[in-house]
Structure 1
Amino acid sequence: MSKSTRATQFLQRAKVAFDTVTYDYDPDADRVGLQAAEAIGAPPHRVLKTLMAEVDGRPVCVIVPSDREVNMKKLAAAFTGKSAQMMRPADAERLTGYHVGGISPFGQKKRVPVAIEASAMDEEHVFLNGGQRGLQLRMAPGDAQAALDAIVVPLVA
């Protein structure tokens, strides 16, 4: 597995400190984020999942703890929209340039607005997908937020 991806290159150019953590990705896992948390031995609330969604038809990137679900009303409100829905996997792959299970918020092909669940900012460090299945990036949540120019809002149910 290569530890150099568009995500890691993006962070290196932005001079963001991070560590890489690899694990055996299970393509049959019901919930990819929870499987990643178990595989790396991290609490699920520290392993953040990257989701692609649409608010009033506009693409957005949403980052929430792997053990929580996005509240669509809160998501729509975060981007001053009326409705939100999850993006179809094929559309998410085309937009980001990453495969489902390996979608990173960093280094996506097309830059879109990003929102991070507010509770994640209370952690000393978090894990985010590194741009390929089986690769997580460990970093300070504030660094991730700054690198993505993300808004920080309550997003979970």
Structure 2
Amino acid sequence: MSIDQVRAHLKKWHRENDILEFDVSSATVELAARALGVEPARIAKTLAIKNGESALLVVAAGDARVDNKKFKAEFGFKPKMLTPEETLQLTGHAVGGVCPFGLKNNIPVYLDVSLRRFTTIFPACGSSNSAIELTCAELDEYSQNQKWVDVCRDWQ
């Protein structure tokens, strides 16, 4: 089960017991914000983007949208989201629970600067009813972030 992979991953930092599990779905930004009682922007959504035969993950604030021009300038190709099947196959997480932890394959993770305006944010933890509260520094470390990028719009 995907949440168990995330628990094992977060155990390295003694954070496996800090995963929040809900009786309701947190599969979308809006549902996660409602389950947590926070503004949608504080939900750290993980976007799985096709990169040749593999993928890359961009974690961004819940109110941010990928800007095609900025993305192409940063990565050299136009962003295309993975299908739900590709997402599960490559990340080990189903859509609605995708996160940058406990990944099935070695997929590079990038954090978008849209997250930096918050003291804490809430990424999913491998299931459609889970999250964890992290600082940006913790997310940076736990996700093995490649680098901070500026590839989103509509959040400023």
TM-score between both structures, scaled by the size of structure 1: 0.84
Deviation at 1:38, TM superposition (A): 1.5
Residues 7-26 of structure 1: per-residue CA shift (max 9 Å, x gap): 1221212x164732222006
CA contact (8 A) 2:91 2:107 kept: no
CA deviation after TM superposition for structure 1 residue 56, in Å: 5.4
Q: Provide the residue aligned with 2:151 in structure 1.
A: 155
Shift of 1:105: 1.0
What's 2:6 paired with?
7
What residue number does 1:59 align with? Answer: 55
Contact 1:102-1:133 at 8 Å conserved across structures: yes
Between stretches 106-115 and 49-58, larger displacement belongs to 49-58
Q: What is the Cα deviation at residue 57 of structure 1?
A: 5.6
More helix by share: 2
Aligned match of 1:47: 43
Q: Against the structure 1 CA distance between its residues 8 and 58, is the aligned structure 2 distance closer, same or farther, given a 3 Å change threshold?
A: same
Answer whether contact 1:117 1:152 (CA < 8 A) is retained.
yes
Pairwise CA RMSD: 2.3
Distance 1:154 1:74 in 2: 7
Partner Cα distance (2:26, 2:113) in 1: 28
Q: Which residue of 1 aligns with 2:126?
A: 131
Secondary structure of the structure 2 residue equivalent to 1:115: strand
Deviation at residue 92 of structure 1 after TM alignment: 0.6
Aligned to 1:21: 20
CA distance in 2, matches of 1:72, 1:106: 25
Kept after mapping to 1: 8 A contact 2:42/2:121: yes
Bigger drift between 63-72 and 51-60 goes to: 51-60
**Is 1:33 the counterpart of 2:60 in the alignment?**
no
- Structure 2 unaligned residues grouped into runs of 5+: none
Percent of pairs identical after alignment? 25
Say if 1:106 and 1:55 are closer, same or farther in 2 by CA, change over 3 A.
same
Distance 2:59 2:21 in 1: 20
Q: Distance in 2 between matches of 1:8 and 1:45?
A: 25
Measure the CA separation in 2 of the matches of 1:97 and 1:82.
24
